[in-house]
Amino acid sequence: MRIGLLTEGGYPYAPGESHAWCDRLVRGLTGHDFEIYALRADPRRERGRPVLPGHARVRHAPLWGDFPAGHHRAADERRGRLPGRRARRRFAEHFGDLVTAFASTPPENALTRKADRFASGLYGLAEQARDGGGLPALLRSEDAVRRLESVCHGPRALPAAHGAQVGDLLTVADRLERTLRPLSLDWYGDGDTPGLDGADLCHATSGGAAALPGLLVKRFFGTPLLVTECGVRLREHYLARAAAPLSAPVRALLAAFQGALTAETYAQAALITPGNTHARRWQERCGADRERLRTVYPGMDAAPFAAVADAAADDSKTLVWVGAVEPAKDLIALLHAFAEVRRAEPEATLRIIGGLGRDPRAAGYLAHCRALAAQLFPDEAADAVTVGENPVSFEEIGSPDAPTPADAYASASVVVLSSVVEGFPRSLVEAMFCGRATVSTDAGAVCEVIGGTGLVVPPRNPRALAEACGALLRDPERRARLGAAARSRALELFTVEQNTAAFRGIYLELISHAPARPDGARDRDAHGVPQPFARPAESHVPGRWAGTGAAARTGPAPAGRTPSWAVP
């Protein structure tokens, strides 16, 4: 089958957790053809030309700067981008519905009508973009700013939006245009270029802008939409906006818009697959139907850690922390906890291994941690002629003492996680693959991942963290026992094979309930009942697209019009 894989800010251009997960999925499911539709969010994080397997290809569009030339829908290209008076009136109606739905408080018992109004505005704008209404220019126009202003200064406006100034409204209009950019892209088979109209299934790898193409294809073509969130996109938005230098009205309006878009995405998805129970609870609070939620743990490659030796029942006393250094990891609490550990275990050492995180405060936070470590643990020397050493070291993966993550975990007696904010704790899973005992704070999905194979303490509690670390350092047999149990749990639940098998089954399940769509219309019997599998499953023949599916129906692009599958 043809899978439309929808990504934002990651695969296949930028590194990160989503990149690794998507790449393993695409390479693992070789029986399907993947057409990747990538929204590129940050050019500074991108690396070179992506290398994809033969059954995958990519179309892309940036979410920065002006609307990209050459990506307009065919109707826009024919009519030009300057909207006329009729288009502006139509835009004012639909944009007004959209803004009123998310920027105002509804009357009592009117939440359903508010969601319907948001959907009406969203799909009305999509229809206008489909008909060549010059939507990108309109979203940045004075008409859009005036409509925002009238709602924000109206009687039912969000309290935080009442004080919005012209600069705030311009910022919101700019962010809305970028998020809604997928409505105007040439990705939907308009004109002569095949696109998402021929996909058998759309798989959005996050909420937000990445899910918009899936919503449109569901609306216009009836294609089922699968949404996977290893970390809830709305939660990430809240955290990012809290740290961003934005005014309170801008933060409130953008958060309200993202919340409404998330609710619409969850309402239209055929199935939602959170990466853990912590994410699942967030999705339920945001309106997701519990009946359409199914937890699928992110798959991680266990092979690099297979050669790590078992934790020996010896007297080693090395604590190891691995991750991205940033304030949410609370290394300050870890250093204070280690000070207590040292008083009871003078031979204990602490290795902090990791580079800077994406938080803009990360560099300053690392400098503060280094200064605190120097203050708490002055360099110690065995005698008057020996050079003193600090029991705390700051290192990075790739250094001589930690060339690979496996080497870092292999040196650990106990692996420690001290976060106050955490999603899916990948470093803990890696430690479990290595058979290491762990001490963690109760944040995010930690308890779900650890199960009963490690110790968990409250966050921001250095004393509890120190007591748990000390208990394991004093008991090598317990460490070995917990490490063996952790390895068994990780190999059972968190491997690439488990993740790939789960999605293989989900794809088949969803497509079995989605009848075929030859030439855009679903096959039905004499009584009008949809017939699943009315056409043979598509297959990929090396060197060309074959079968009776969407690619065969559309045929090659005419001369002079090349589909934008090219990778830069």
- Residue ranges of domains in the chain, CATH in brackets: 1-64+195-231+269-299+495-515+541-551 (3.40.50.2000), 304-494 (3.40.50.2000)
Sign of CA dihedral 471, 476, 481, 487: positive
Nearest-CA neighbor of 68 among 187, 168, 171? 187
DSSP-derived secondary structure for 67-118: PPTT-B-HHHHHH-S---HHHHHHHHHHHHHHHHHHHBPPPTT-HHHHHHHH
* N- to C-terminal Cα separation, the chain: 26
How confident is the prediction along the chain (568 residues), in pLDDT tens digits per residue? 899 999 998 788 877 667 788 999 999 999 899 999 999 887 777 777 778 999 999 999 988 888 877 666 655 544 445 677 888 999 999 999 999 999 988 765 555 678 899 999 999 999 999 887 689 889 999 999 999 999 998 888 888 888 889 999 999 999 999 999 999 998 988 656 678 988 999 999 988 899 999 999 999 999 999 999 887 788 877 777 776 788 989 999 999 999 999 999 999 999 999 988 888 988 998 889 999 999 999 889 999 999 887 776 567 899 999 999 999 999 999 999 999 999 999 999 999 999 998 888 999 999 999 999 999 998 765 555 555 578 999 999 998 888 999 999 999 999 999 999 888 899 999 999 999 999 999 998 999 999 999 999 999 999 999 999 999 999 999 999 999 999 999 999 999 999 999 999 999 999 888 765 544 444 545 555 555 544 444 444 444 444 334 433 344 444 444 444 444 4
Handedness of CA 336, 337, 340, 341 (dihedral sign): negative
Q: Is the dihedral of CA 280, 282, 285, 286 positive or negative?
A: negative
- Whether 25 and 500 have beta carbons less than 8 Å apart is answered as yes
Reported pTM: 0.82
